[in-house]
Structure 1
Amino acid sequence: MSGGLLILVWVWPLLLAALAVRPSFWWLPAIGALPGLAAALLVPLGSRLELPWLFLGTTLGLDATGRIYLIFTAILWLVSGIYAAFSVRGQPHAGRFSVFFLLAMAGNLWLIVGQDLLSFYAGFAIMGLSAYGLVIHDGKTAALRAGKVYLVMALLGEVTLFAALVLVASHAGTTVPEPEQLVGLDDLTIALLILGLGVKAGMVPLHLWLPLAHPAAPVPASAVLSGTMIKVAILGWLRFLPVGVVALADWGAWLTGAGLLTMFYALPIGLMQSDPKAILAYSSISKMGLLILLLGLILTEPALAPVGIAAITLYAAHHALAKGGLFLGVGLRKYAALQPLVLAGLVVLALALAGAPLTSGAVTKYGIKPLLAGADWGWLSIAVAVSTVATTLLMARFLWVTAHIRPHPETGYTWPGAAWAVLITLVLLFPFLLGEPAAWTTNAATVGAGIGIAVAVMTVARRHPGLARPLVGRIPPGDLLGLIQQILLALVWYGLAILGFVGALYARIEARLTQAFDRVFAQPTSDAEQGLRAWPVAGALWLAVGGLLFVAVLGGAPEILPPEPAPRGEIAATSPVEADLPSEPGVVGVPGDEPLPSSLPDVDAETDRASALEPSPRSETSEVDAAIAAETEEASTLDAQTPASARDAPPVDAVAVCDPEIPFVFASPKGPAERIGLQRCVRDPDSGALRLLDAPPLTNRLVYLLQEQLEALGFDPGPIDGLIGPRTRDAVRAFQEAQGIPQTGRISFDLLERLQRETLQDP
């Protein structure tokens, strides 16, 4: 029976995934983790099952650490599966989501019961790659961007982990290494193992994917991503590093430092977020930093291993249940009924995550005290206490943001709400079932201080909302990713500037060489040519030609101009009648919307000429009527083919006075310090004529300022990331509709002027 359950733990969700794509099997995610929970409760400790026919030989088993991991993992997958089955049902691509959900579940459970290197890696790879399908499920721009970052980081971590596990197997001589066989691992193997699993753990600076993926994924996917998937990194380190056997002082100190950096780096950035799921994502990064710190202490002092491993495992269980419950609570806050009960449940879970007395957080913090007390660095206890205060502030920020969510109750959330209530009950029972009374009052002073600071900050924020507003959203999710993007953009601009300087220098050198060549090799000019070049002769000719042109204009003669290429965004007139019609000087129009000429050809003369050339009798005006009909038909055709943005653009009569040296300045609503200069008036390289551009070239910086303008006016452009996506286009169309202009979604200078004018008028 034990062997069968160990196989069903991961085979069962794999089999269900093959059927989940069918709409009639929408409920399968709700039962995928049942064998895992049964195995965690029924399989005796120390049980092992050999499968020599799988890979190079697979070993399944359950030890004490694996049992605790299997219990909280199966519980969270079960509750999240119930939520997923009922919330995603009937939505687009629901079957695809269920397939990826069950595949990720199978991989997560497999790596827990798999005792060999190949089973761990196979489960890790299945879980990681399937989670990509969960992150990009809704197909929005933010989800696709998060999925791209996640996939790159996940593949990097998996390749690094595979290399590390190969080196571990080569060193130990077996795929099921015991701790004693891991003694003597070289630095390269340890480094690859830490980096490969550090990506999944969200260790700074390998955390870039986590604050992007968690908010982008659907609620049940976010719950398991943060609650269980990132915890497998700790399990891998405990299994494949010589924990408790030999001291690794240097690597222990390095992990302790990395844990401190991760723990404190994420907390202030999380306080600046406005999305509750992003706040929880940064909270997960901080808590993983604490677990990494504790692991570093164990590697430094092997005598702490028996107590330390149990403390780390229980802390992982507490965090998984509380954090998974908070993510699910965000979804229920949006769509479930009985909102007072939902808010009460969120308060309970937030207090548990902060480590308030009589909660699971207090008990697990009590369990890690021996590790902190036995460390060589006595100040670590103070650092952890400060992080507890900051975590309390972060949970207060989460509750503040969540309380301001406007719920939209929908049907189908009764069972998810019931499963969530069971999860909260388990969190409430945690300290009384697994903790002693002495642990119940842990963190009373630190959490109390955090609550006091939070109340003071909220009071000030209510009275002076403008004080904290500049900080909110200042660092977007992904933090370092945005900094890297800005650095790359700066390098590109500097590169373009250098190329422009080199090009200008080359042009000047070429001009000088050409002049020198002309002085040496130019042929002497004739006397007649020299005479024409003389100033009196040239001036007289210029005055004569100018006088004739002036008389022609006063007499109403049509102006004959050489054909010029139509500016971008306009369609040139091509009909014969249109080509003969003169246009007013200084007016640039579009076909089908041109002003009438100042003078028309003599209709009587045209009629007489047509009568003289036509032998058969016909009406006096038939030829003119035919020309007018042809002109009207041609203009209507061109008008139908012309884009709305070009038809509705006003005549640009400022071409004659526009200056290419004066840029069009588009500024951010946050102040004139953030602005960009755009060249609107350009000179045609062939004719030398000035013309106004209809639209600027799109850059990341321009789109970023555009999104800020739209958001300031109340039009939601989606994430302020400088990327044009469907939500940004929709916001542009909504603004155009409010302005009473065609809803093209196109970014033109007219749109930028209207945005800037409305922002300045907005109080």
Structure 2
Amino acid sequence: MSAWLLLAAWIWPLLLAPFASSTRHGRWLAALGPLPALGATLVVPLGTRIELPWLLLGTQLGLDPLGRTYLLFTALLWLVAGIHAGSAGLGPAAGRFRALFLLAMAGNLWLIVGQDLASFYVGFAIMGLAAYGLVIHEGNARALRAGRVYLAMALLGEVTLFAALVLIASESGTLAPAPQQLATLGPVAIGLLLAGLAVKAGLMPLHLWLPLAHPAAPAAASAVLSATMIKVALLGWLRYLPVGVIALPGWSELLTGIGLLTLALALPIGLMQTEAKTVLAYSSIAKMGLLAALLGAMLAEPTLAEVGVGALALYVVHHALVKGGLFLGVGLRKAGAPAQPLILAGMALLALAMAGAPLTSGAAAKAAVAPLLEHARWPWVVTLVSASVVVTTLLMARLLWLVAGIEARPHPAQGRALVSWGGLVALVVLFPLLVPAPPELKDALLVGVGVVLALLVWRWPGPLRRLAGRVPPGDLLALLGPPWHAVSHAWQRLARLWLALTRPLVARIGEGLTLGPAVADGESALRRWPVAGALWLTLLLLLIGALWRAPVEMATRPMESDPLIESTSEIESTSEIESTSEIESTSEIESTSEIESTSEIESTSEIESTSEIESTSEIESTSEIESTSEIESTSEIESTSEIEATSGSEAMPEVESTPDDPSPQIESMQEAEATPRVEPGSTACDPARPFLLAAPDDAGDLLRLPRCDSEGSTLDAPELSNALVRRVQRWLVALGFDPGPVDGLIGPRTRAAIRAFERDRGAPARGAIDFELLERLTAPTR
């Protein structure tokens, strides 16, 4: 029963959302939302899977090591932020904020526990769209501008991600691809996946929304935006890129370059900001750039994935806890929470951890990712990352300076928020004990240089004071503003000029086409509810009918057949080969019966074909018919109830059908033995003898499935493809099992149908497509 906590992890926040808007009872519902997710990380065993064939395209929920790590820190941060949301004064729209907060939480948790492409996208979309309401909560001009930029970028990222996931499903043949199935992804799918998630990660130049949204949103929303939501980009890359399977040097260099560029530009721009939350936003952009560069190193060297995935997960946990604590600390300062000196001390500890000072979580995280930096393709990468430590220390000093100058607006009921924030700070302090790392002298020196520079700037603030505010939040938007306004102004002038020129002509045409008041107002009848409702209802019924017919047409549409026996005389066989001419040679030979290829083959029968076969050679009726897709006139036609075609498969002994049997037994190339005859202890395999999978409604429609690998060893299962999965789905439909849509995608419903079929046949319910399953499926035709 503990496995069902994976379903409750995201269903529970969804159920709470409608009640969160209540001012009386909904205040603390935001804090209750992540509790099932926290419970799942503690009690659900690794490797647990739940299949929900009725949800979306078939939903799979599961918990792997990476998913458990993400679920743990994500649920923890949503819990602490939910307590802050219940304590803070959010104004008259507090109920709406909490409802959207729970929706965003549900989407975030769903994409973590969801193991299929559809779950990832739907959770991603719910999280992103609900977060828009969190960004514009204040309702002022600043929040609305940030919301417009956020919504435009979010929709751009979601559309790009949707296209990428569709291509991944199409190219891998499944909605839950394994890493090996991602090795064949094309460049378009990889490029769209990187671009779609780069928007959420805030990589330059797609970072425009982040430094605007974080300062505009309340502290609780800023914490989860920066600590959890942008981290799902890395989760998507690790799940749906072939990390550790194949090397992608070109994509590796691109991702590494963009990541390092983001790191190098975000830190100095952050130093010029004049608001604490904007400084933290640019710090998040810089750290995501570093993580992208580290992922790029893993794409270049697949062997790094064994240690690299765990190292990146550890760094993500560190950054999420520290950044969430810093945003919430800023919120506590603004709210005038009690114990302000303790809040400043906690902020200083979190700032040292973010800079990577020795004996902090930052030092442990840097030690974990050090092997990835050592294998960087460019030697100057280590130098750049080391320099970023110094600038990050300066950035954290700038943050503390701005936090100390915040004018508090006292708000009551901050005790619970302060206690939960203190627990988060304590967890960051204890992080090195949980993940010990030896102190590095290099880290201490780099942080020390940053501290010295910060003291010098504090003593002589003139140079930095002149730079402060030079680059506004959303940097590129400020640079693009003047050109955009110029283009917009020119377009408006052109539009006014065009209207001035065309208005007389339009007026003259309108006078000539006037049809009278009754006709001119004819649209009013269409706008009435009975007419409009009837039209909408008709369109809805047509749409339902089209969707209802689509699966049936896909299930019953015959596949294009692969003719295996073709000759210059064109031998046609769906149930029997009928001929209309005689075999003429130097002596005329007439046999006594018909050749029937899919129901019966009688070797002493009369051989009739659709054209005349003229030959000067001897025709023996008891010999084998040998053909390589055409019957040559100089070859011997030998038949002993065996036809050897291009695959070299053997026909089985003749079986006569009875009139009572509505479907004659199929004795054709599909009935040939799929497993090559191999001597005991040998792995030899005959590549000329594939498994021939017929369609359930057309025995001549054969799909060739190689039984041998490149080394000549016998395979246990064929390579998955859309054509193979679609053929299996058609067989399941023909045998009375429901695999869902016959679309060539192996989702939970298809696997459930396979397991039901295997249980019905008394076999272990494995749900896998292998040659043993294919033999069972086609057994009725044998």
Find the counterpart in structure 2 of residue 473 from structure 1: 469
Show CA shifts across 1:393-422 (max 9, x none). Answer: 100000011111122332110000000000
Find the counterpart in structure 2 of residue 330 from structure 1: 330
The within-5 A match list for 1:467-506 is 467-491=463-487
Task: Say whether residues 1:306 and 2:302 are aligned partners.
Answer: no
Find the counterpart in structure 1 of residue 550 from structure 2: none
Q: Which amino acid aligns with 1:385?
A: S
Find the counterpart in structure 2 of residue 371 from structure 1: 372
Q: Secondary structure at the match of 1:49?
A: strand
Find the counterpart in structure 2 of residue 120 from structure 1: 120
Show CA shifts across 1:114-155 (max 9, x none). Answer: 000000011000000000000000100000000000001001
Show CA shifts across 1:328-358 (max 9, x none). Answer: 0001112211110010010011111111111
Find the counterpart in structure 2 of residue 349 from structure 1: 350
Q: Which amino acid aligns with 1:175?
A: L
Show CA shifts across 1:63-118 (max 9, x none). Answer: 111111111101100000000011146x2111100000000000000100000000
Alpha-carbon distance change, 482 to 43 in structure 1, aligned in 2, over 3 angstroms: same
Check conservation: 1:61, 1:114, Cα contact below 8 A.
yes
How far off its partner does 1:268 sit? 0.9
Q: Supply the distance in 2 between the matched residues of 1:171 and 1:127 (Cα, whole angstroms).
A: 27
Q: Supply the distance in 1 between the matched residues of 2:189 and 2:491 (Cα, whole angstroms).
A: 39
**Deviant stretches of 4+, over 6 Å:** 493-501
Show CA shifts across 1:460-479 (max 9, x none). Answer: 11xxx4x4333111111010
Check conservation: 1:393, 1:451, Cα contact below 8 A.
yes
Q: Supply the distance in 1 between the matched residues of 2:174 and 2:493 (Cα, whole angstroms).
A: 58
Q: Supply the distance in 2 between the matched residues of 1:458 and 1:451 (Cα, whole angstroms).
A: 10
Find the counterpart in structure 2 of residue 285 from structure 1: 285
Q: Supply the distance in 2 between the matched residues of 1:62 and 1:439 (Cα, whole angstroms).
A: 33
Q: Supply the distance in 1 between the matched residues of 2:490 and 2:135 (Cα, whole angstroms).
A: 35
Q: Which amino acid aligns with 1:291?
A: L
Q: Which amino acid aligns with 1:324?
A: G
Q: Supply the distance in 2 between the matched residues of 1:26 and 1:299 (Cα, whole angstroms).
A: 45
Per residue, is there more helix in 1 or in 2? Answer: 1
The within-5 A match list for 1:135-174 is 135-174=135-174
Find the counterpart in structure 2 of residue 134 from structure 1: 134
Find the counterpart in structure 2 of residue 414 from structure 1: 415
Find the counterpart in structure 2 of residue 455 from structure 1: 455
The within-5 A match list for 1:171-186 is 171-186=171-186
Q: Which amino acid aligns with 1:41?
A: L
Check conservation: 2:88, 2:411, Cα contact below 8 A.
no
Q: Secondary structure at the match of 1:60?
A: strand
Check conservation: 2:37, 2:75, Cα contact below 8 A.
yes
Q: Secondary structure at the match of 1:406?
A: coil
How far off its partner does 1:496 sit? 9.2
Q: Supply the distance in 2 between the matched residues of 1:225 and 1:305 (Cα, whole angstroms).
A: 27
Q: Secondary structure at the match of 2:231?
A: helix
Q: Secondary structure at the match of 2:460?
A: helix
How far off its partner does 1:498 sit? 11
How far off its partner does 1:489 sit? 2.5
Q: Which runs of 5+ in 2 are unaligned?
A: 498-782
The within-5 A match list for 1:694-709 is none
How far off its partner does 1:434 sit? 1.3
Q: Supply the distance in 1 between the matched residues of 2:160 and 2:54 (Cα, whole angstroms).
A: 27
Find the counterpart in structure 1 of residue 202 from structure 2: 202
Find the counterpart in structure 1 of residue 624 from structure 2: none
Q: Supply the distance in 2 between the matched residues of 1:286 and 1:209 (Cα, whole angstroms).
A: 14
Number of residues of Structure 1 aligned to a counterpart in Structure 2:
497
Q: Supply the distance in 1 between the matched residues of 2:471 and 2:482 (Cα, whole angstroms).
A: 13
Q: Secondary structure at the match of 2:204?
A: coil
Check conservation: 1:343, 1:403, Cα contact below 8 A.
yes
How far off its partner does 1:298 sit? 0.3
Q: Which amino acid aligns with 2:105?
A: M
Show CA shifts across 1:14-42 (max 9, x none). Answer: 00002111112211001111111111122
Alpha-carbon distance change, 280 to 59 in structure 1, aligned in 2, over 3 angstroms: same
Q: Supply the distance in 1 between the matched residues of 2:285 and 2:330 (Cα, whole angstroms).
A: 18
Q: Secondary structure at the match of 2:51?
A: strand
Q: Secondary structure at the match of 1:469?
A: helix
Task: Say whether residues 1:80 and 2:81 are aligned partners.
Answer: yes
Q: Supply the distance in 2 between the matched residues of 1:107 and 1:236 (Cα, whole angstroms).
A: 14
How far off its partner does 1:375 sit? 2.2
Q: Supply the distance in 1 between the matched residues of 2:197 and 2:223 (Cα, whole angstroms).
A: 20
Q: Supply the distance in 2 between the matched residues of 1:305 and 1:32 (Cα, whole angstroms).
A: 34
The within-5 A match list for 1:593-612 is none
Q: Secondary structure at the match of 1:50?
A: strand
Find the counterpart in structure 1 of residue 530 from structure 2: none
Find the counterpart in structure 2 of residue 320 from structure 1: 320
Find the counterpart in structure 1 of residue 192 from structure 2: 192
Q: Supply the distance in 1 between the matched residues of 2:147 and 2:488 (Cα, whole angstroms).
A: 25
Show CA shifts across 1:230-256 (max 9, x none). Answer: 000000000000000000000000000
Q: Which amino acid aligns with 1:483?
A: L
How far off its partner does 1:381 sit? 1.0
Check conservation: 2:457, 2:464, Cα contact below 8 A.
no
Q: Supply the distance in 2 between the matched residues of 1:393 and 1:325 (Cα, whole angstroms).
A: 19
Q: Supply the distance in 2 between the matched residues of 1:492 and 1:11 (Cα, whole angstroms).
A: 46
Q: Which runs of 5+ in 1 are unaligned?
A: 502-763
Alpha-carbon distance change, 18 to 455 in structure 1, aligned in 2, over 3 angstroms: same
Find the counterpart in structure 1 of residue 711 from structure 2: none
Task: Say whether residues 1:246 and 2:271 are aligned partners.
Answer: no
Q: Supply the distance in 1 between the matched residues of 2:128 and 2:493 (Cα, whole angstroms).
A: 42
Q: Which amino acid aligns with 2:215?
A: P
How far off its partner does 1:374 sit? 1.8
Q: Supply the distance in 2 between the matched residues of 1:349 and 1:135 (Cα, whole angstroms).
A: 25
Check conservation: 1:366, 1:439, Cα contact below 8 A.
no
The within-5 A match list for 1:661-700 is none
Check conservation: 1:357, 1:442, Cα contact below 8 A.
no
Show CA shifts across 1:218-240 (max 9, x none). Answer: 11000000000000000000000
Check conservation: 1:363, 1:442, Cα contact below 8 A.
no
Find the counterpart in structure 2 of residue 48 from structure 1: 49
Check conservation: 2:97, 2:133, Cα contact below 8 A.
yes
Check conservation: 1:76, 1:321, Cα contact below 8 A.
yes
How far off its partner does 1:318 sit? 0.5
Check conservation: 1:359, 1:440, Cα contact below 8 A.
no
Q: Supply the distance in 2 between the matched residues of 1:354 and 1:486 (Cα, whole angstroms).
A: 36
Check conservation: 2:80, 2:417, Cα contact below 8 A.
yes
Question: Which deviates further from its counterpart, 272-281 or 407-416?
Answer: 407-416
Question: Which deviates further from its counterpart, 488-497 or 372-381?
Answer: 488-497
Aligned alpha-carbon RMSD (Å): 1.9
Check conservation: 1:273, 1:472, Cα contact below 8 A.
yes
Find the counterpart in structure 1 of residue 556 from structure 2: none
Q: Which amino acid aligns with 2:432?
A: P
Alpha-carbon distance change, 69 to 474 in structure 1, aligned in 2, over 3 angstroms: same
Q: Supply the distance in 2 between the matched residues of 1:117 and 1:188 (Cα, whole angstroms).
A: 17
Check conservation: 1:333, 1:342, Cα contact below 8 A.
yes
Check conservation: 1:362, 1:441, Cα contact below 8 A.
no
Computing the radius of gyration from Cα coordinates, the structure with the larger value is 1
Q: Secondary structure at the match of 1:362?
A: helix
Check conservation: 1:358, 1:441, Cα contact below 8 A.
no
Show CA shifts across 1:271-303 (max 9, x none). Answer: 000110000000000000000000000001111
How far off its partner does 1:497 sit? 10
Q: Supply the distance in 2 between the matched residues of 1:32 and 1:416 (Cα, whole angstroms).
A: 16
Q: Secondary structure at the match of 1:378?
A: coil
Q: Supply the distance in 2 between the matched residues of 1:414 and 1:423 (Cα, whole angstroms).
A: 14
Q: Secondary structure at the match of 2:69?
A: helix
How far off its partner does 1:440 sit? 6.5
Q: Secondary structure at the match of 1:326?
A: helix
Q: Supply the distance in 1 between the matched residues of 2:374 and 2:145 (Cα, whole angstroms).
A: 43
Find the counterpart in structure 1 of residue 703 from structure 2: none
Q: Which amino acid aligns with 1:209?
A: W
Q: Which amino acid aligns with 2:149?
A: V
